[in-house]
Amino acid sequence: MPTTKRKHKPVEQKPTTDNAKVNSIIRDVHGTLPFASYTSAVAVHTTLLSFTALYLPRTAFLSEITRPQWDLAKQTSRDKPQSPFLNQLTLSPVSTLAWICLGVLFVQIWWGGWMTTWYIGNVVHGSDEEKKMQRVAYDKQKFKHLKSAAMLTLLASVVFHALLVLLGAPLTNCSTPFMSGPDCLSDHLHTRTYLLALLLALLTVPVPAYTLDAPSIFKSDSQSWERWLLWTRLFAERSVRNSIERALVYPVTGALTGCWIGAIPIALDWDRPWQAWPLTPAYGAICGYIVASLAAFTATAINIMAAEQLRAQATGTDTISKSKLKAKAI
Protein backbone atom coordinates (compact mmCIF):
# COMPACT_ATOMS: atom_id res chain seq x y z
CA MET A 1 0.00 0.00 0.00
CA PRO A 2 1.31 3.41 -0.84
CA THR A 3 2.38 5.33 2.18
CA THR A 4 1.18 8.86 2.61
CA LYS A 5 3.14 11.47 4.41
CA ARG A 6 1.44 12.73 7.49
CA LYS A 7 1.28 16.47 7.57
CA HIS A 8 2.18 18.01 10.86
CA LYS A 9 0.57 21.19 11.94
CA PRO A 10 3.10 23.84 12.80
CA VAL A 11 3.40 24.12 16.52
CA GLU A 12 3.15 27.61 17.84
CA GLN A 13 6.25 28.47 19.78
CA LYS A 14 5.56 29.71 23.24
CA PRO A 15 7.59 32.62 24.44
CA THR A 16 10.68 31.41 26.19
CA THR A 17 11.95 32.65 29.48
CA ASP A 18 14.52 34.84 27.73
CA ASN A 19 11.84 36.44 25.57
CA ALA A 20 9.69 37.09 28.61
CA LYS A 21 12.67 38.65 30.35
CA VAL A 22 13.37 40.85 27.33
CA ASN A 23 9.76 42.01 27.24
CA SER A 24 9.95 42.77 30.95
CA ILE A 25 13.08 44.87 30.44
CA ILE A 26 11.48 46.75 27.57
CA ARG A 27 8.32 47.46 29.55
CA ASP A 28 10.40 48.59 32.50
CA VAL A 29 12.49 50.98 30.42
CA HIS A 30 9.87 52.40 28.09
CA GLY A 31 6.93 52.32 30.48
CA THR A 32 8.56 54.63 32.99
CA LEU A 33 10.00 57.68 31.27
CA PRO A 34 9.15 59.05 27.83
CA PHE A 35 12.69 59.29 26.56
CA ALA A 36 12.19 62.21 24.17
CA SER A 37 10.67 64.55 26.74
CA TYR A 38 13.07 63.24 29.40
CA THR A 39 16.03 64.16 27.20
CA SER A 40 14.88 67.73 26.64
CA ALA A 41 13.85 68.20 30.28
CA VAL A 42 17.22 66.99 31.61
CA ALA A 43 19.03 69.36 29.25
CA VAL A 44 16.93 72.32 30.38
CA HIS A 45 17.17 71.31 34.04
CA THR A 46 20.95 71.06 34.13
CA THR A 47 21.29 74.29 32.13
CA LEU A 48 19.05 76.18 34.55
CA LEU A 49 21.01 74.87 37.54
CA SER A 50 24.28 75.95 35.93
CA PHE A 51 22.87 79.41 35.20
CA THR A 52 21.55 79.69 38.76
CA ALA A 53 24.94 78.82 40.24
CA LEU A 54 27.16 80.92 37.98
CA TYR A 55 25.15 83.86 36.69
CA LEU A 56 22.17 84.57 38.95
CA PRO A 57 24.34 85.84 41.86
CA ARG A 58 26.26 88.06 39.40
CA THR A 59 23.16 89.84 38.09
CA ALA A 60 23.69 93.59 38.29
CA PHE A 61 20.49 94.67 40.02
CA LEU A 62 20.73 91.79 42.50
CA SER A 63 24.27 92.85 43.37
CA GLU A 64 23.15 96.41 44.07
CA ILE A 65 20.40 95.18 46.39
CA THR A 66 22.19 92.61 48.52
CA ARG A 67 25.96 92.78 48.11
CA PRO A 68 28.01 95.09 50.37
CA GLN A 69 30.43 97.51 48.76
CA TRP A 70 33.77 96.06 49.80
CA ASP A 71 37.13 96.86 48.35
CA LEU A 72 38.03 94.05 45.98
CA ALA A 73 41.73 94.71 46.50
CA LYS A 74 41.37 93.50 50.07
CA GLN A 75 39.63 90.33 48.99
CA THR A 76 42.43 88.90 46.88
CA SER A 77 46.20 88.75 46.91
CA ARG A 78 48.13 91.15 44.69
CA ASP A 79 50.57 88.56 43.37
CA LYS A 80 47.76 86.23 42.28
CA PRO A 81 44.74 88.38 41.45
CA GLN A 82 41.44 86.58 41.17
CA SER A 83 39.48 86.35 37.94
CA PRO A 84 36.90 89.15 37.57
CA PHE A 85 34.27 86.50 36.90
CA LEU A 86 34.75 85.10 40.42
CA ASN A 87 34.85 88.48 42.15
CA GLN A 88 31.09 88.89 42.10
CA LEU A 89 30.61 85.36 43.43
CA THR A 90 33.12 85.56 46.27
CA LEU A 91 32.54 89.14 47.40
CA SER A 92 29.64 88.15 49.67
CA PRO A 93 29.13 84.40 50.21
CA VAL A 94 25.88 85.05 52.06
CA SER A 95 24.40 86.95 49.13
CA THR A 96 25.68 84.38 46.64
CA LEU A 97 24.20 81.44 48.54
CA ALA A 98 20.91 83.22 49.16
CA TRP A 99 20.32 83.88 45.46
CA ILE A 100 21.44 80.36 44.55
CA CYS A 101 18.94 78.89 47.01
CA LEU A 102 16.16 81.06 45.59
CA GLY A 103 16.97 80.05 42.02
CA VAL A 104 17.30 76.36 42.90
CA LEU A 105 13.91 76.50 44.63
CA PHE A 106 12.11 77.53 41.44
CA VAL A 107 14.13 75.15 39.26
CA GLN A 108 13.34 72.20 41.53
CA ILE A 109 9.63 73.06 41.60
CA TRP A 110 9.62 72.98 37.81
CA TRP A 111 11.57 69.70 37.72
CA GLY A 112 9.32 68.15 40.35
CA GLY A 113 6.31 68.85 38.13
CA TRP A 114 7.90 66.91 35.29
CA MET A 115 8.87 64.00 37.52
CA THR A 116 5.39 63.82 39.02
CA THR A 117 3.78 63.76 35.58
CA TRP A 118 6.01 60.88 34.49
CA TYR A 119 5.45 59.02 37.74
CA ILE A 120 1.67 59.30 37.49
CA GLY A 121 1.81 58.07 33.91
CA ASN A 122 3.69 55.04 35.16
CA VAL A 123 1.43 54.05 38.06
CA VAL A 124 -2.02 54.47 36.50
CA HIS A 125 -3.45 51.28 34.99
CA GLY A 126 -6.63 49.98 33.46
CA SER A 127 -8.89 51.33 30.74
CA ASP A 128 -8.79 54.90 29.50
CA GLU A 129 -11.67 55.86 31.77
CA GLU A 130 -9.99 54.27 34.80
CA LYS A 131 -6.71 56.02 34.00
CA LYS A 132 -8.54 59.32 33.73
CA MET A 133 -10.17 58.83 37.13
CA GLN A 134 -6.84 57.90 38.70
CA ARG A 135 -5.18 61.00 37.24
CA VAL A 136 -7.96 63.17 38.65
CA ALA A 137 -7.44 61.58 42.07
CA TYR A 138 -3.70 62.29 41.87
CA ASP A 139 -4.34 65.89 40.81
CA LYS A 140 -6.49 66.43 43.89
CA GLN A 141 -3.56 65.32 46.07
CA LYS A 142 -0.98 67.63 44.47
CA PHE A 143 -1.42 70.48 46.94
CA LYS A 144 -1.14 68.04 49.83
CA HIS A 145 2.04 66.58 48.37
CA LEU A 146 3.45 70.07 47.81
CA LYS A 147 2.74 71.01 51.41
CA SER A 148 4.36 67.82 52.70
CA ALA A 149 7.39 68.39 50.47
CA ALA A 150 7.81 71.95 51.77
CA MET A 151 7.62 70.86 55.40
CA LEU A 152 10.02 67.99 54.85
CA THR A 153 12.46 70.31 53.07
CA LEU A 154 12.50 72.73 56.00
CA LEU A 155 12.99 69.85 58.41
CA ALA A 156 15.80 68.46 56.27
CA SER A 157 17.53 71.86 56.25
CA VAL A 158 17.61 71.84 60.06
CA VAL A 159 18.95 68.28 60.09
CA PHE A 160 21.61 69.13 57.50
CA HIS A 161 22.60 72.21 59.52
CA ALA A 162 23.10 70.08 62.63
CA LEU A 163 25.13 67.54 60.68
CA LEU A 164 27.33 70.26 59.16
CA VAL A 165 28.06 71.67 62.60
CA LEU A 166 28.86 68.21 63.95
CA LEU A 167 31.21 67.65 61.01
CA GLY A 168 33.11 70.84 61.78
CA ALA A 169 31.29 73.69 60.05
CA PRO A 170 32.46 77.05 61.47
CA LEU A 171 30.18 79.01 63.76
CA THR A 172 32.30 81.72 65.36
CA ASN A 173 35.75 81.74 63.73
CA CYS A 174 36.53 83.91 60.73
CA SER A 175 36.83 81.73 57.63
CA THR A 176 37.68 84.33 54.97
CA PRO A 177 41.46 84.22 54.45
CA PHE A 178 41.90 87.97 53.92
CA MET A 179 39.86 89.18 56.89
CA SER A 180 40.78 89.42 60.52
CA GLY A 181 39.81 91.23 63.66
CA PRO A 182 36.57 93.26 63.66
CA ASP A 183 35.80 92.37 60.04
CA CYS A 184 35.03 88.81 61.14
CA LEU A 185 31.93 90.07 62.91
CA SER A 186 30.29 90.66 59.53
CA ASP A 187 30.99 87.17 58.21
CA HIS A 188 27.67 85.68 59.44
CA LEU A 189 29.13 82.17 59.49
CA HIS A 190 26.03 80.69 61.12
CA THR A 191 23.96 82.13 58.27
CA ARG A 192 26.35 80.69 55.70
CA THR A 193 26.16 77.25 57.29
CA TYR A 194 22.37 77.27 57.30
CA LEU A 195 22.22 78.47 53.69
CA LEU A 196 24.42 75.54 52.69
CA ALA A 197 22.10 73.21 54.62
CA LEU A 198 19.10 74.78 52.89
CA LEU A 199 20.74 74.33 49.49
CA LEU A 200 21.38 70.65 50.22
CA ALA A 201 17.77 70.24 51.32
CA LEU A 202 16.48 71.91 48.15
CA LEU A 203 18.62 69.66 45.97
CA THR A 204 17.76 66.40 47.71
CA VAL A 205 14.27 66.56 49.24
CA PRO A 206 11.54 68.46 47.31
CA VAL A 207 11.53 66.47 44.06
CA PRO A 208 11.33 62.97 45.64
CA ALA A 209 8.90 64.19 48.31
CA TYR A 210 6.58 65.79 45.76
CA THR A 211 6.81 62.88 43.34
CA LEU A 212 6.54 59.94 45.74
CA ASP A 213 4.76 61.77 48.59
CA ALA A 214 6.64 62.25 51.83
CA PRO A 215 6.38 59.42 54.39
CA SER A 216 4.46 60.25 57.53
CA ILE A 217 5.33 59.22 61.08
CA PHE A 218 1.78 59.92 62.27
CA LYS A 219 0.08 57.22 60.19
CA SER A 220 0.36 53.45 60.51
CA ASP A 221 -1.84 52.21 57.67
CA SER A 222 -0.59 49.90 54.94
CA GLN A 223 -0.12 52.71 52.43
CA SER A 224 2.14 54.62 54.83
CA TRP A 225 4.22 51.50 55.49
CA GLU A 226 4.58 50.91 51.75
CA ARG A 227 5.77 54.48 51.34
CA TRP A 228 8.32 54.05 54.14
CA LEU A 229 9.59 50.84 52.55
CA LEU A 230 9.87 52.60 49.19
CA TRP A 231 11.89 55.48 50.64
CA THR A 232 14.09 53.05 52.56
CA ARG A 233 14.79 51.01 49.45
CA LEU A 234 15.59 54.05 47.33
CA PHE A 235 17.54 56.33 49.65
CA ALA A 236 18.95 53.95 52.28
CA GLU A 237 19.64 50.86 50.20
CA ARG A 238 20.01 52.88 46.95
CA SER A 239 18.25 50.11 45.05
CA VAL A 240 16.59 51.40 41.87
CA ARG A 241 14.36 49.28 39.66
CA ASN A 242 13.46 51.57 36.79
CA SER A 243 14.47 54.79 35.12
CA ILE A 244 12.23 57.12 37.12
CA GLU A 245 13.67 55.82 40.39
CA ARG A 246 17.14 56.28 38.93
CA ALA A 247 16.32 59.88 38.01
CA LEU A 248 15.27 60.50 41.62
CA VAL A 249 18.05 58.69 43.49
CA TYR A 250 21.18 59.47 41.47
CA PRO A 251 20.99 63.29 41.83
CA VAL A 252 20.45 63.02 45.59
CA THR A 253 23.55 60.86 45.96
CA GLY A 254 25.50 63.13 43.62
CA ALA A 255 24.61 66.30 45.54
CA LEU A 256 25.69 64.87 48.89
CA THR A 257 28.89 63.40 47.44
CA GLY A 258 29.73 66.64 45.64
CA CYS A 259 29.24 68.66 48.82
CA TRP A 260 31.56 66.31 50.71
CA ILE A 261 34.25 66.54 48.03
CA GLY A 262 33.79 70.29 47.73
CA ALA A 263 34.87 70.79 51.33
CA ILE A 264 38.40 69.57 50.55
CA PRO A 265 39.75 72.81 48.96
CA ILE A 266 38.85 74.83 52.06
CA ALA A 267 41.60 73.10 54.05
CA LEU A 268 44.29 74.00 51.50
CA ASP A 269 46.53 76.95 52.36
CA TRP A 270 46.14 78.73 49.04
CA ASP A 271 44.53 81.81 50.61
CA ARG A 272 42.13 82.37 47.75
CA PRO A 273 38.81 84.22 48.13
CA TRP A 274 36.84 81.37 46.56
CA GLN A 275 37.93 79.18 49.49
CA ALA A 276 35.61 81.12 51.79
CA TRP A 277 33.10 78.96 53.63
CA PRO A 278 30.91 77.48 52.20
CA LEU A 279 31.37 78.33 48.53
CA THR A 280 33.23 75.19 47.48
CA PRO A 281 30.82 72.74 49.21
CA ALA A 282 27.85 74.59 47.72
CA TYR A 283 29.20 74.53 44.19
CA GLY A 284 30.38 70.96 44.72
CA ALA A 285 26.82 69.96 45.62
CA ILE A 286 25.42 71.59 42.48
CA CYS A 287 28.11 70.04 40.27
CA GLY A 288 27.52 66.64 41.84
CA TYR A 289 23.78 66.97 41.27
CA ILE A 290 24.27 67.88 37.60
CA VAL A 291 26.80 65.09 36.98
CA ALA A 292 24.55 62.53 38.67
CA SER A 293 21.53 63.70 36.65
CA LEU A 294 23.49 63.23 33.45
CA ALA A 295 24.68 59.83 34.71
CA ALA A 296 21.06 58.77 35.31
CA PHE A 297 20.15 59.94 31.82
CA THR A 298 23.11 58.05 30.32
CA ALA A 299 22.22 54.86 32.18
CA THR A 300 18.62 55.09 30.97
CA ALA A 301 19.76 55.65 27.39
CA ILE A 302 22.10 52.65 27.56
CA ASN A 303 19.32 50.47 28.98
CA ILE A 304 16.98 51.54 26.20
CA MET A 305 19.52 50.71 23.51
CA ALA A 306 20.29 47.37 25.17
CA ALA A 307 16.59 46.55 25.42
CA GLU A 308 16.05 47.40 21.77
CA GLN A 309 18.95 45.18 20.76
CA LEU A 310 17.65 42.31 22.89
CA ARG A 311 14.21 42.69 21.38
CA ALA A 312 15.65 42.69 17.87
CA GLN A 313 17.63 39.54 18.64
CA ALA A 314 14.58 37.87 20.18
CA THR A 315 12.46 38.79 17.15
CA GLY A 316 15.10 37.40 14.81
CA THR A 317 15.32 34.17 16.82
CA ASP A 318 11.54 33.74 16.74
CA THR A 319 11.48 34.32 12.98
CA ILE A 320 14.17 31.69 12.38
CA SER A 321 12.39 29.19 14.64
CA LYS A 322 9.08 29.66 12.84
CA SER A 323 10.79 29.23 9.46
CA LYS A 324 12.32 25.94 10.61
CA LEU A 325 8.96 24.70 11.87
CA LYS A 326 7.31 25.52 8.56
CA ALA A 327 10.08 23.74 6.67
CA LYS A 328 9.65 20.62 8.81
CA ALA A 329 5.90 20.70 8.31
CA ILE A 330 6.34 20.77 4.54
pLDDT, one tens digit per residue, over 41-99 is 999 999 999 999 999 888 755 555 555 544 444 455 555 667 777 888 888 888 899 99
CA distance 190 to 207: 27
Check residue 173 and report its DSSP letter.
S
pLDDT on residue 10? 46
Contact 215, 227 (CB under 8 A): yes
- Per domain, the residue ranges of the chain are 31-64+85-172+188-324
pLDDT on residue 12? 46
8: exposed, middle or buried (Cβ count in 10 Å: 0-12, 13-18, 19+): exposed
pLDDT on residue 21? 52
Of 29, 9, 27, 11, give the one whose Cα is nearest residue 19.
Answer: 27
pLDDT on residue 13? 46
| pLDDT-flagged residues of the chain (< 70) | 1-32, 60-81, 131, 172-187, 316-330
pLDDT on residue 79? 56
pLDDT on residue 8? 47
Of 175, 199, 190, 168, give the one whose Cα is nearest residue 274.
Answer: 175
* Percent of residues, the chain, with pLDDT higher than 70: 74
Of 47, 37, 46, give the one whose Cα is nearest residue 117.
Answer: 37
pTM equals: 0.81
pLDDT on residue 144? 86
